[in-house]
Amino acid sequence: MELLMAILIGVLFTAAVYLILSRSILKIIIGTGLLSHGAHLLILTMGGLGGSAPPVLSDGVTDFADPLPQALILTAIVISFGVTAFILVLAYRAYAVHKTDDMNQLKGNDEHD
């Protein structure tokens, strides 16, 4: 199971890197989304996929899933959610001001401002 997850995460990272290297801002943001998905799945996988019961105390269960990676993922998810919301609004503002979503045209220097 871990091997399968590792391959899946590898595919996610590949897609993320490909999208981040593209020119359109929106594709880049989709790439960062995939990157954080990959990172979160990686925490889950690296914590070990063992354990048969969810990490909630209940009678007669001794084999819990590791609760720590789940807490880490939850933290990382809200952080990347906040940052993604910010970067989406920023991309919108940049589009409104610069009239382009092509990263190559956002080079410029002081003379172009």
Partner 1 sequence: MINLLLFPIILPFFFAILLLFFKEKIRTQRILTLIGVVVSLASSLVLLWTVKTEGIQAITLGSWPAPFGISMVSDMLSALLVTTTLLLTLFIVIYSFTSIGEERERYFYYPAILFMVTGVNGAFTTGDIFNMFVFFEVLLIASYILIVLGGTKKQLRESLKYILVNVISSALFVITVAYLYSVVGTLNMADISVKISEVNQPGIITVIAVLFLIVFGIKGSIFPLYFWLPGSYAAPPIPVLALFGALLTKVGIYAIMRTYTLFFIHNTGFTHEILMILSILTIIAGCIGALAYFDLKQIIIYNIVIAVGVILFGASQMNEAGMSGAVFYLIHDMLIKGALFLLIGVIIYITGTSNLRKMGGLMKTHAPLGWFYLIAAFGLAGIPPLSGFIGKLLIVQGAFEAGNIWSGIIVLASSLVVLLSVMRIFIYAFWGESKVALPKTNRKTYNRLMAPALVLVVLTIVYGIGTEWLLPFMTDATDVLLQPSIYIDAVLK
What residues make contact with partner 1 under the rule CB under 8 A? 20, 25, 28, 32, 35-36, 38-40, 42-43, 45-48, 68-69, 72, 75-76, 79-80, 82-83, 86-87, 90-91, 93-94, 97-98, 106, 108, 110, 113
CA angle 71-76-79, nearest 5°? Answer: 130
CA distance 40 to 31: 14
State which residue, 61 or 106, has the beta carbon closest to partner 1: 106
* Shortest spacing between CB 109 and partner 1, in angstroms: 9
User: Residue 14 Cβ, how far from partner 1 at the closest point, in Å?
Assistant: 14
DSSP 6-43: HHHHHHHHHHHHHHHTSSBHHHHHHHHHHHHHHHHHHH
